[in-house]
Amino acid sequence: MDKERVKPSILPGFMELLPSDQVLFNKMLDIIRENYEKFGFLPIDTPVIEKSEILLAKGGGETEKQIYRFKKGSNDMSLRFDLTVPLARYVAQYFPDLNFPFKRYHIGKVYRGERNQRGRFKEFYQCDIDIVGNGKLGIINDAEIPSVIYSTFKGLGFENFTIKINNRKILNGFFNYLGIEDRVGTLRSIDKIDKIGINGVKKELDKIGLSIEAVEKIIRFMNIEGTNEEILHNLEDMNIDNEEFQLGLEELSLVIDYVKYFGVPNENIAIDLTIARGLDYYTGTIYETFLDDYPDIGSVCSGGRYDDLAKHYTNQKLPGVGMSIGLTRLFYQFKEANIIESNEDSLIKAIIIPMDGCLEESIKVGNRLRNEGINIQVYLEKNKMGKKFNYANKLGVPYVIILGPDELKDEKMTIKDMGSGEQKMFEIEEGIKLLKR
Amino acid sequence: MDKERVKPSILPGFMELLPSDQVLFNKMLDIIRENYEKFGFLPIDTPVIEKSEILLAKGGGETEKQIYRFKKGSNDMSLRFDLTVPLARYVAQYFPDLNFPFKRYHIGKVYRGERNQRGRFKEFYQCDIDIVGNGKLGIINDAEIPSVIYSTFKGLGFENFTIKINNRKILNGFFNYLGIEDRVGTLRSIDKIDKIGINGVKKELDKIGLSIEAVEKIIRFMNIEGTNEEILHNLEDMNIDNEEFQLGLEELSLVIDYVKYFGVPNENIAIDLTIARGLDYYTGTIYETFLDDYPDIGSVCSGGRYDDLAKHYTNQKLPGVGMSIGLTRLFYQFKEANIIESNEDSLIKAIIIPMDGCLEESIKVGNRLRNEGINIQVYLEKNKMGKKFNYANKLGVPYVIILGPDELKDEKMTIKDMGSGEQKMFEIEEGIKLLKR
């Protein structure tokens, strides 16, 4: 007689959280958003589904393989795989209505049908900021991005992290100077240093056919270390006769100089000549951010400068600089590494547990506390007190408010601090003060 | 030589906003979320893509036509078309980990490939709350939902709105009592009253084969008006000999009684026996909310009570009650009716415009203001003052801060109020107070 039941489950590779973790996840999203807004970035929200011709305008095999593409009626559509292509389309489409430099943030879900892999998700949140100029965009903007990164990760509760910075022009100019033809391949090899080490990079460079001399010079270059000032002097002293290299060096020096004014401490920003960013659209400054205490997590935030954002959609030249935090993966990693704990804080300040016959008056006290801006749940079901307390315990709220005839006749409430276990009767006004703290 | 350009555009039937409207939209989302949290609802966030077998478990022609369904590898997947089916799946899946009554809110995008129609969107935000019980759920919860609706629409800035309330058991019991067999058809006909009027309903009822006597009694029933108390007395006086009818009447009386304690004023809640909610899963209380000053907009928020949320996924009986706000359509309607204006408020409090040679110090002042929690943009580009002011004007910020040598040498700032046009020099501390106001 029964209809067949479907086993409740989701597709593999998708993240779904229990409420206690969801509260924490949302809190991180809120902190990120708050910091983006603090610097005056404006929100946009684009459709998750775009025309396939828009998302695939750039071409490229990897993207096409990963994309979720389908037809409905005569429409060929796809789910966005990042927030940068939608930004490019958006800026090209609404160009006359936008105010340049256009500073926008975008927090939303993106989709990639990657093969199943631990810690990789097919649906994930990206939290992006970009500054897009009309025709030109001053290098000083490249110094504001690290200050937003700094402020955001401080906001997320981290003290020890390093924003690593480099400039593609330095790398490209240097490769050019060395007479290397496969500059993209060289860049990609260097980009793997975190995974394969410097010897691995050496092998890769050999494999793509670089001369022994070139490989040696690249390895020496990659080994340049020291304070930011020392690295900059070192690069100057190399006297590389290449315009692009020198332009990159000048840009990097300016960014390092400006970053100070933005209040990013020296210990949180470091030039790292091995940072390459495999993605091919960056043309200048590049960033990767690492948590000093958790190097295994890898980069937690990355970005860079590009020359021409929307060339597939408009002939307006739109240079920009931006960065992105992939929060879904980061959250997973933070949980795995026990960096964050789920019930350290509750969205709900207190639950009111009414004693028998006190439900109506308890509801009224609930209204009053909510009017004071306190998030309150009232336990509404008719149940034994034990069951009510079980519910409150499981909810993980900081306070339980017990209302019985004694409390109600004197306009009082009994508040139990669920952390310390202490329980005390308060005048309502006094209790409100405690709950607001 | 140039690669072919793709015209930047989105698919028809999708909403996309300029930043000034997006700020407003997000503000409405925030107010809704704030109110849901105030009542202690916890957030969940489910994947936009679900297994097709999950979303289609219930079956039903309309849903299947509208759904975005596709394959990737061996997976048959679909985009969710509401947040209720994902909730049912979620509660069934995590049943042992959840705390019942489970109060959750969910704000997210859903997808329906409806044919193109003005004001209808294929991607839209739903903002849902539900209270789900394990086995049973007290009727008092049906009285909390209107209080969340009340608090939310007050928060959104509305004073004059009516939460119309009815009970499916009253309707079903009454139809049963009249000996009507096609009760669903009768319900659907009544549900059209807003569009076709009472005479239209009469014709529809004739058409589906109801007796003249039954139609007359239904029309008389639908014409019952008065205060909530009058309507309840009227229903009692009908002396309908039907158990379901009497149970519905009892529930409705209790809800109307309890709603008072939750602080919903009498003028904001009204029994309306013509409210039917065409959707077939409601089994008790039903709600529709109307803005008194904008009746053409139709219902802005609706919901109700259901007996068995997750029967397609579990044998646990999970009754619940909830409501939903479809914000995308609502925002569109509010804009069309000029109920909301875009630049009434800016996310960014002020933009700092540095005079020549004052950029570095201006950046520092920006940091200081941000540390005070003020959202600040600093104009970073090297441009003529006129161009800088144009940018500030277009941004629509409430204040512009001008920093030149005079201001900086005395630790002052000139603040221009963009509303009044007034401009004055302030001590920085004094200026901060003004900006924080």
CA dihedral B70, B71, B77, B80 (to 10 degrees): -20
Rg over CA atoms, chain A: 27
pLDDT score of A345? 66
Pick among B363, B394, B435 to test the A interface (most A CBs inside 10 A): B363
For residue A381, give the DSSP letter: S
In terms of average pLDDT, the best of A143-152, B187-196, B334-343, B392-401 is A143-152
Distance of CA B112 to the CA centre of its chain: 17
Across the interface, do A111 and B49 touch by the CB < 8 Å criterion? yes
Of B25, B70, B144, the CB nearest to A380: B144
Contact list, A87 vs chain B (CB under 8 Å): none
Q: Is B190 helix (H, G, I), strand (E, B) or coil?
A: helix
Confidence of residue B323 (pLDDT cuts 50, 70, 90): very high
Pick among A1, A3, A11, A394 to test the B interface (most B CBs inside 10 A): A11
Do β-strands B285-291 and A123-132 pair in parallel, antiparallel, or remain unpaired?
unpaired
Q: How far is B78 from chain A (nearest CA, A)?
A: 11
What is d(CA B89, CA B185) in angstroms, rounded to the nearest whole number?
A: 29
Contact list, A38 vs chain B (CB under 8 Å): 370, 373-376
Q: Which amino acid is at B100?
A: F
User: Is B210's pLDDT higher than 60?
Assistant: yes
Give B83-104 as a DSSP string.
SHHHHHHHHHHSGGGS-SSEEE
User: Is A6's pLDDT higher than 50?
Assistant: yes
The structure tokens listed for A150 are: 């700094």
What is d(CA A118, CA A349) in angstroms, rounded to the nearest whole number?
A: 35
Do β-strands A49-51 and A123-132 pair in parallel, antiparallel, or remain unpaired?
unpaired
Establish whether this prediction's ipTM goes over 0.85: yes
pLDDT score of B117? 83
What is d(CA B219, CA B201) in angstroms, rounded to the nearest whole number?
A: 8
What backbone phi and psi angles, to 5 degrees, belong to A181?
Answer: -90, -45
pLDDT score of A327? 96
> For a pLDDT cut of 90, what percent of chain B falls above it?
84
Contact list, B151 vs chain A (CB under 8 Å): 370
| A12 conformational bin, left if phi > 0, alpha if psi -120 to 50, beta if neither | beta
- When pLDDT is averaged across residues B35-50 and rounded to a whole number, the result is 97
Rg over CA atoms, chain B: 27
pLDDT score of B1? 34
Distance of CA B119 to the CA centre of its chain: 15
- When pLDDT is averaged across residues A208-214 and rounded to a whole number, the result is 91
What is d(CA A390, CA A375) in angstroms, rounded to the nearest whole number?
A: 20
Contact list, A36 vs chain B (CB under 8 Å): none
What is d(CA A426, CA A254) in angstroms, rounded to the nearest whole number?
A: 59
**Lowest mean pLDDT across A333-342, A369-378, B34-43, B417-426:** A333-342
User: Is A343's pLDDT higher than 90?
Assistant: no
Angle in degrees, CA A358, A393, B319, rounded to 5: 70
Name the more confident of A396 and A50: A50
- When pLDDT is averaged across residues A344-350 and rounded to a whole number, the result is 82
Question: How many distinct helices (H) and strands (E) make up chain B?
Answer: 16, 16
In terms of average pLDDT, the best of A341-350, B331-340, B343-352, B419-428 is B419-428
**Lowest mean pLDDT across A58-62, A243-247, B139-143, B212-216:** A58-62
- When pLDDT is averaged across residues A25-36 and rounded to a whole number, the result is 96
Confidence of residue A1 (pLDDT cuts 50, 70, 90): very low
Show the 3-state SS of A252-293.
HHHHHHHHHHCCCCHHHEEECCCCCCCCCCCCCEEEEEEECC
Nearest to B42 by CA among B96, B90, B105: B105
Domains of chain A: 11-150+319-345 (3.30.930.10), 161-292 (3.30.930.10), 347-436 (3.40.50.800)
Across the interface, do A14 and B47 touch by the CB < 8 Å criterion? yes
pLDDT score of B337? 86
Which sign, positive or negative, has the C-alpha torsion B273, B277, B278, B283?
negative
Number of Cβ pairs < 8 A linking chain A and chain B = 252
**Counting Cβ atoms within 10 Å, is residue A263 exposed (0-12), middle (13-18) or buried (19+)?**
middle
Instruction: Quick: pLDDT tens for A75-128.
Output: 999 999 999 999 999 999 999 999 999 999 999 999 999 888 888 899 999 999
Pick among B51, B99, B388 to test the A interface (most A CBs inside 10 A): B99
Contact list, A374 vs chain B (CB under 8 Å): 38
The residue of chain A nearest to residue B87, with distances taken between CA atoms, is A8
Q: What are the distances in angstroms from CA B302 to CA A377, A421, B145?
A: 22, 41, 10
